[in-house]
A and B are shown apart, each in its own frame.
Chain A
Amino acid sequence: MNIVVCVKHIPDPNLPAEMDGKTLKREGVQGVMDPGDEFGVEAGLQIKERLATGDGESGEGEVTLVSMGPAAAMEAVRRGLSMGADKGVLVSDDVLKGSDALATAKVLSAAIQKNGAFDLVIAGVESTDGYTGTLPGTLAEFLGVPHVSTVKEIVSADGGTLKVNRQTADGYHVVEVGLPAVISVTAGVNEPRYASFKGIMAAKKKPVEQLSLSDLDLSGDDVAVKQEVTELSKAEEREGGEIIEDDGSAAAKIADFLKEAKVI
Chain B
Amino acid sequence: MDFVVQDEYAELQRNITDYIERELRPLEAELDPEKDDVPIELRDKVRRRSAEFGFYAADFPEDLGGSGLPQLGMVLLREAAARTGCRLAGFTVYGPEGPTGVLLAGTDEQKKKYLTPLITAEKSMCFALTEPDAGSDAQNIKTTAVKDGDSWVLNGTKHFITNGKHADFALVFAVTDKELKGSGGITAFIVESSTPGFEVGRGQIGMLEGEGQFELIFRNCRVSEDQILGGPENLGMGFYAAMQFLAMGRLSIAAMCNGIADYCVKLGIDYAKERQAFGRPIGKNQYVQGHIVDSLVELKASKLITYECADKYDHGDAVIQESSMAKLYSTEMVNRVVDRMIQVHGGMGWMRELPLERIYRLVRIFTLVEGTSEIQKYIIAKSVGL
Contacts and interface: CB of A to CB of B under 8 A. Distances in A.
Nearest to B15: A194
B108 interface: no
Contact of B12 (A78, A193, A197, A204): A197
Nearest to B69: A197
Interface in B57-79: 58, 62, 67-69, 73
A200 interface: yes
B374 to A, nearest CB: 36
A93 B87 CA distance: 46
Contacts of A199: 54
B68 A196 contact: no
A197 B8 contact: yes
A200 B12 contact: yes
A82 interface: yes
Contacts of A198: 54, 62, 67-68
Interface residues of A, number: 13
A193 B23 CA distance: 11
A196 B53 CA distance: 6
A255 interface: no
Given A79-B11, A82-B11, A197 B18 contact: no
A200 B58 CA distance: 12
Q: Which one of A79, A194, A204 has the greatest number of beta carbons of chain B within 10 Å?
A: A194
A197 B73 contact: yes
B6 to A, nearest CB: 10
Interface string A182-215: 0000000000011111111100100000000000
B11 A194 contact: no
Given A200-B8, A201-B8, A195 B68 contact: no
Contacts of A197: 8, 12, 54, 58, 67-69, 73
Contacts of B73: 197
Contacts of A201: 8
A129 B187 CA distance: 61
Contacts, number: 36
Interface string B4-15: 000010011001
A193 to B, nearest CB: 6
Contacts of B12: 195, 197, 200
Contacts of B68: 197-198
Interface in B19-56: 19, 53-55
B58 A196 contact: yes
A261 to B, nearest CB: 25
Interface of B: 8, 11-12, 15-16, 18-19, 53-55, 58, 62, 67-69, 73
Q: Is the interface of A mostly helix, strand, loop or mixed?
A: helix
Contacts of B11: 78-79, 82, 195, 200
A82 B12 CA distance: 10
Nearest to B51: A196
B58 A194 contact: no
Contact of B53 (A78, A194, A204): A194
A194 B55 contact: yes
Nearest to B12: A197
Which of A82, A200, A201 has its CB near the most chain B CB atoms (within 10 A)?
A200
Contacts of B55: 194, 196
Nearest to A200: B8
A194 B8 contact: no
Contacts of B69: 197
9 contacts: A193-B53, A194-B16, A194-B55, A196-B53, A196-B54, A196-B55, A196-B58, A197-B12, A197-B58
Contacts of B62: 198
Nearest to A191: B23
A161 to B, nearest CB: 30
Could you say which of A194, A197, A199, A201 has the most chain B C-beta atoms within 10 Å of its C-beta?
A197
Contacts of B19: 194
B310 to A, nearest CB: 14
A33 to B, nearest CB: 11
Interface string A73-117: 000001100100000000000000000000000000000000000
A30 to B, nearest CB: 11
B67 A196 contact: yes
Nearest to B18: A194
A199 B19 CA distance: 15
Contacts of B54: 196-199
A193 B8 CA distance: 17
B133 to A, nearest CB: 42
A36 to B, nearest CB: 14
A197 B76 CA distance: 12
Given A193-B53, A194-B55, A200-B8, 13 more contacts: A82-B11, A194-B15, A194-B19, A194-B53, A195-B12, A195-B15, A196-B55, A196-B67, A198-B54, A198-B68, A200-B11, A200-B12, A201-B8
B223 to A, nearest CB: 35
Interface string A204-234: 1000000000000000000000000000000
A114 B54 CA distance: 35
